Structure 1
Amino acid sequence: MKGIMIQGTASDVGKSLIATGLCRLLANEGWKVTPFKSQNMSNNSYVTINGEEIGRAQGVQAEASKAEASVWMNPILLKPRSDQQSEIVLLGKSFETMSGIGYRDQFYEKGIEVIRSSLEYLEGHFDIVVIEGAGSPVEINLKDRELVNMKVAEMADVPVLLVADIDRGGIFASIIGTLELLAPEERKRVRGLIINKFRGDIGLFRDGIQWLEERTGIPVLGVLPYIHHHGIDGEDSLSLQEQMNKHQGSEIDLAVIYLPYVSNYSDLEPFTYEPDVSVRWIKHISEFGNPDAVIIPGTKSTINDLQYLKDTGLDGLIKDFAEKGGILIGICGGYQMLGESIIDEAGTDTGVIGKKVKGLGLIPSETVFHPVKETIRVKGSINSNSINVNLHVNGYEIHLGKTVHFKKDQFFIQLENGQTDGYCNSEGTVIGTYLHHLFHNDGWRNAWLNFIREKKGIEKRIPIYAADLKEDRYNALAAHLRENIDCDLLRTIICDKEKV
């Protein structure tokens, strides 16, 4: 297989971003490129055109590669449901929920099998695979049964680039320590080093580059300057918050309720394109303030996160805000919380069969959790006289619960398949929906923000087309890599199989 693997000295050193940039860089050069991550752990997922679920990062990397996302790009997705258990999504479908020990003991051989078949599929359909690792490749307590770092490099038979984050300090120790802990045959695969998140004068690091190359015998492929507000979807909500910080203090104050098991927070990413919108996470009642609108995002554990709102007192603030005419949207799990009650009929949300809890009581509805998850891409038109009628939207649904309305005429979206989705009150101020990526629809996002602007008495704005801006960001990221790494050496490393 022709390709490259991006591994890191630790988590959050920039593996995902660099892999995304390489996908676009190589695609722009005319290669048929695919991303790959054997095992992803994230509640931020992406639904493929076939209604299958993969990690959000690989969906983004597929976009950067100019390829259609598929389950072969991320065959194993682990979605944490508690501190002890995760749902295993295997080739896009929910497979089983296991503890960490159970997964390690019972799933390893199955994992190896599906990774191998995925790599074989990708090799037959693409020119180059850009593989992303996870965490560090030298977690000694996990190495004998790992499914995502050097074992995958061996299976794909590709060279490795080791990425280190200079911004966090300890760059030399992290690189040398990682290489020293690799087995000799693993270390031979490391063909290049990348120093990421560099700030300041590169001339001050020349001696450091020379020392690393002399000490390791491995070339430093490049030193990448720190990118502020790069705008590419990250793997966690902290990376999204960094992007949102650039608009703090803007005219529209949008509050997002923090949930311990928050999922698909990429639903909020388009607001980073809106210069007059400030987005902030709310974790405590003291942070609530007086927002112009509130969003309750999706969650992997609706009932547990609803209990978190009750324990922190945020439930009372949200209810009071909505009852006084505040603008509120709940997405997926957030939508379920807005109803009158939630019943875990199958035990799929909490593990307790038949558990019933009261919701926030802001929507006349009841949600029941069933055994089978629904993942599907959908299209439809908005049903809201207060905001915009017949505005077309598309997105995807990922949920176990089914929500039944007691006022069936107050639905939010008329779907193309004849069904309806969500709830919208007559004033347009309280909305609930299962539609992830709702705000990625530029027309809807603009209409909703103009609804807020009108209520505030500020000037309305024309739509910002996020898809075009996203393409610009992928190309800018590729240009950033092209300017700061040795691309000739990179191509040699990818194509020279004899040295791997």
Structure 2
Amino acid sequence: MRNKKRYRPIMFVGTGSDVGKSVINAGFCRIFKQDGLQPAPFKAQNMSLNSFPTPDGLEIGRAQAVQAEACGIPCRVEMNPILLKPTGYMDSQIVLNGKPWANKSAKAYFNETDRDFLFNEAMRAFSKLEAEFNPVVVEGAGSISEVNLWKKDITNMRVAVEKNAATYLIADIDKGGVFGSVYGTMMLLPENERKLIKGIIINKFRGDISLFQDGALKLEELCGVPVVGIIPHFRDIYIDDEDSVVVDKKRFSSVEGKINMAVVLLRHMSNFTDFNVLEQIPEVNLFYAATPEDLTQADIIILPGSKNTISDLLFLQKQGMATAIKKAHEQGMAVYGICGGFQMMGKWVRDPLQIEGAVEAVPGLGILPVETTITNEKVTEQCSFTFQKTKIEGSGYEIHMGETVAENDSPLCIINGKKKDGYYLNDKAWGTYVHGIFDNSEIIRSVLDSIGKKLGSEVDFKRFKEEQYDKLASLIRENVDMEYIYKSIQID
């Protein structure tokens, strides 16, 4: 039953990065949906190599696509109008309103770009969402107490002030120093911003929550706003992570008795969510390989996507990983590539326009008889495909800059019934531009069959994700004062 009542925006900001804003935002999106509202997520500016195409072929941060899924609606470019995709240590591609806009250094972006122009673009996108959805569930970025960045802010408290959002400060108690980070953050805020903070949410609490009740009261006394929730640390709820910082917390070793699938660890790895389904299969141990020795423990090697294919390929060559991958292939090990990983598997990767950097060409691994040229045009689209060898049908998405040409006609997939994709050498060596290809159980079954292994259990990933959103919503309801939350977003 639809709730017709209108609410003001709600915003979740943090004492720092990786405190759980994206996941908590997704949980509230699902709660509002369950309660008969029509919520939509929003983040003015996101920095991530994990992106996703909207149905109309525009690019946004993966986190907002996940939050839209929790809302039960298709993702839209207005949900993340500005996306920064790092291409190097201090440089990023700027995606504005879903399309590449510029490549800039951090210094040029923050000091030379018209901040008011970017903020106005973000607010224009927000207004479109606000006209159709209720409430808009806003996510901040990083820490709101970076005083040196306040004048350049287009995604944190400037948004809260502009939209009069009921704002909640999230702190990760598992990091330690929660009192200093919360109190320091609150006291640094100007008065007009501090009064928008309606409450504090303590995230990732381990142990008996009742033991922190005195701590919560002390925080309330210090900060002048209530602690409205203490959310326990959980490991049994799986929500797509925002960025590859979480890879540091994942497994980096093989496990005896399992099917060991090694994802080659790249410095500019993108769309690591391609492997989330594989992590849920009991027979499979998915781990990240950082050294040539790691690869000797694998049954299957996967080269993931990359935001800078040439730089990552040169890195693999320098570290000895390229030689180890080629040797593994020659010895009959299964090697597969996705997007940038597919490009690396070819004979050459060329960049005549120097889009990725100063190196105009680098030899690839030579596993597949293809060559790639990096181009200015960016493909961003959701797609359906037919896996050629078995005629398996599936769905995924493409996000890449580059055209790959094969020496002979042997596509891995046919996309949307007409476009040839990837290259099929044999059951143990192929590449594709399709992200999310492993979200399809029949593809996983085919890959395991190629090494003589069987998939003993099915994973319905769409149903699985829906169950996870509901579990997250239940956890938040149990540990957050939802009555207080709703009162704070009522329009007087």
Q: Which residue of 2 aligns with 1:4?
A: 10
* 1:135-170: CA deviation from partner (whole Å, max 9, x where unpaired): 111111111111111011112221110011111111
1:420 aligns with 2:420: yes
| Aligned counterparts of 1:246 and 1:269: Cα–Cα separation in 2 | 17
1:490 aligns with 2:485: yes
| Aligned counterparts of 2:213 and 2:413: Cα–Cα separation in 1 | 58
Is contact 2:385-2:395 (8 Å) kept? yes
Pick from 44, 63, 72 the counterpart of residue 66 of structure 1: 72
| Aligned counterparts of 1:459 and 1:418: Cα–Cα separation in 2 | 31
TM-aligned CA deviation for residue 346 of structure 1: 1.9
- Equivalent position amino acid for 2:411 in 1: F
1:277 aligns with 2:276: no
How do residues 256-295 of structure 1 correspond to structure 2 at under 5 angstroms? 256-295=263-302
- Equivalent position amino acid for 2:25 in 1: A
Pick from 83, 86, 97 the counterpart of residue 77 of structure 1: 83
TM-aligned CA deviation for residue 230 of structure 1: 2.2
* 1:315-354: CA deviation from partner (whole Å, max 9, x where unpaired): 00000001111111110000000100111022212255xx
1:431 aligns with 2:430: yes
- Equivalent position amino acid for 1:425 in 2: L
Task: Indicate the SS of the match to 2:288.
Answer: strand
More deviation, 66-75/442-451: 442-451
Pick from 219, 229, 240 the counterpart of residue 222 of structure 1: 229
C-alpha change, 1:138 and 1:175, in structure 2 (3 Å) is: same
1:378 aligns with 2:383: yes
Which runs of no fewer than 5 residues in structure 2 stay unpaired? Answer: 1-6
Pick from 20, 27, 41 the counterpart of residue 21 of structure 1: 27
Pick from 467, 474, 484 the counterpart of residue 472 of structure 1: 467
- Equivalent position amino acid for 2:225 in 1: I
TM-aligned CA deviation for residue 240 of structure 1: 5.1
Q: Which residue of 2 aligns with 1:411?
A: 411
How do residues 145-224 of structure 1 correspond to structure 2 at under 5 angstroms? 145-224=152-231
TM-aligned CA deviation for residue 462 of structure 1: 4.4
C-alpha change, 1:191 and 1:7, in structure 2 (3 Å) is: same
C-alpha change, 1:241 and 1:27, in structure 2 (3 Å) is: farther
- Equivalent position amino acid for 1:279 in 2: L
| Aligned counterparts of 2:457 and 2:226: Cα–Cα separation in 1 | 49
| Aligned counterparts of 2:36 and 2:254: Cα–Cα separation in 1 | 36
| Aligned counterparts of 1:475 and 1:43: Cα–Cα separation in 2 | 27
Q: Which residue of 2 aligns with 1:237?
A: 244
C-alpha change, 1:3 and 1:250, in structure 2 (3 Å) is: farther
Q: Which residue of 2 aligns with 1:296?
A: 303
* 1:369-420: CA deviation from partner (whole Å, max 9, x where unpaired): 1111111222221122xxxx10002211111110000021x21002234221
TM-aligned CA deviation for residue 238 of structure 1: 4.0
| Aligned counterparts of 1:218 and 1:310: Cα–Cα separation in 2 | 54
TM-aligned CA deviation for residue 312 of structure 1: 0.3
| Aligned counterparts of 2:454 and 2:434: Cα–Cα separation in 1 | 28
Is contact 1:119-1:156 (8 Å) kept? no
More deviation, 340-349/32-41: 340-349
Is contact 1:23-1:130 (8 Å) kept? yes
- Equivalent position amino acid for 1:232 in 2: I
Q: Percent identity?
A: 38
Task: Indicate the SS of the match to 1:133.
Answer: strand
Is contact 1:244-1:272 (8 Å) kept? no
Task: Indicate the SS of the match to 2:298.
Answer: coil
Is contact 2:87-2:308 (8 Å) kept? yes
More deviation, 389-398/479-488: 389-398
Task: Indicate the SS of the match to 1:141.
Answer: helix
Over the residues paired in the alignment, what is the CA RMSD in angstroms? 1.7
| Aligned counterparts of 2:28 and 2:247: Cα–Cα separation in 1 | 21
Q: Which residue of 2 aligns with 1:393?
A: 394
Is contact 1:250-1:278 (8 Å) kept? no
- Equivalent position amino acid for 1:478 in 2: A
Task: Indicate the SS of the match to 2:242.
Answer: coil
- Equivalent position amino acid for 1:390 in 2: K
Task: Indicate the SS of the match to 2:379.
Answer: strand
TM-aligned CA deviation for residue 108 of structure 1: 1.1
| Aligned counterparts of 2:22 and 2:340: Cα–Cα separation in 1 | 27
Is contact 1:446-1:462 (8 Å) kept? no
| Aligned counterparts of 2:401 and 2:164: Cα–Cα separation in 1 | 39
More deviation, 370-379/77-86: 370-379
Is contact 2:22-2:63 (8 Å) kept? yes
1:57 aligns with 2:63: yes
Task: Indicate the SS of the match to 1:398.
Answer: strand
Pick from 132, 140, 143 the counterpart of residue 133 of structure 1: 140
C-alpha change, 1:155 and 1:339, in structure 2 (3 Å) is: same
More deviation, 333-342/435-444: 435-444
Which runs of no fewer than 5 residues in structure 1 stay unpaired? Answer: none
Q: Which residue of 2 aligns with 1:365?
A: 370
How do residues 327-342 of structure 1 correspond to structure 2 at under 5 angstroms? 327-342=334-349
Is contact 2:448-2:454 (8 Å) kept? no
Pick from 94, 102, 117 the counterpart of residue 100 of structure 2: 94
TM-aligned CA deviation for residue 37 of structure 1: 0.5
C-alpha change, 1:21 and 1:245, in structure 2 (3 Å) is: farther
TM-score by length of 2: 0.95
How many correspondences in the alignment?
485
Is contact 1:234-1:240 (8 Å) kept? no
TM-aligned CA deviation for residue 450 of structure 1: 3.7
TM-score by length of 1: 0.94
Task: Indicate the SS of the match to 2:388.
Answer: strand
